[in-house]
Amino acid sequence: MSLEQRTEGSEDKTTPATKRKTKRTRELIEENERQKETLKKQHEGLLGELEEHRAEQKKLGERKAIGMTVSHKKFGAGTVTKEDGKYIEVTFTPNGGSKLVKTFVLPGAIAGGFLVPDDDSAVEYYKKSAAIYERIMKTDLQLRSNGFATERVEEQLEKLAEMA
């Protein structure tokens, strides 16, 4: 049956179905646009949080660990002999024997109690530093998750635009 030969009744049957699909598609587009806007606001908020955490980290400052005396449950007393970014090397001399060099990650090694510095202020510094680092990592993870969610919504919007 050609388009010209359609009867009036057949046009009435197809028209409402098309209108419902179009209406539903428009509703889905509007919903996805709202989600995209919400995600954008969340993203901006998370960027602000991350900036605050980094400012807090900068305010705390850096503390060099080289030369610090620490103790370890298994290896005993030791001295930090090398610092490379977040890694430190501690030289231990257990029971007066030969030297033993172990690598640890700051601030976690001290904040977690694996290494105990002689200086109490160092413990407080590394605990604060670890807490800030943890908040930065959590916020960064939320930002990445937000980015993936935004990408999914944008892909859905593209598909819906093709349907409309």
Question: What percentage of the chain reaches a pLDDT higher than 70?
Answer: 87
Q: Where are the domains of the chain?
A: 10-61+137-163, 69-134
How many CB atoms are located within 10 Å of the residue 141 CB? 11
pTM score: 0.74
- The overall average pLDDT reported for the chain is 87
12-28: per-residue pLDDT in tens? Answer: 444 444 445 588 888 89
38-87: per-residue pLDDT in tens? Answer: 999 999 999 999 999 999 999 999 999 999 999 999 999 999 999 998 99
pLDDT interval class at 97 (50, 70, 90): confident
Residue 164's pLDDT is what?
A: 63
Question: What percentage of the chain reaches a pLDDT higher than 90?
Answer: 73
Residues 6+ apart with CB under 8 A from 75: 90, 92, 94, 100, 102
Please work out, in degrees rounded to the nearest 5, the angle formed at the alpha carbon of residue 24 by the alpha carbons of 34 and 28: 20
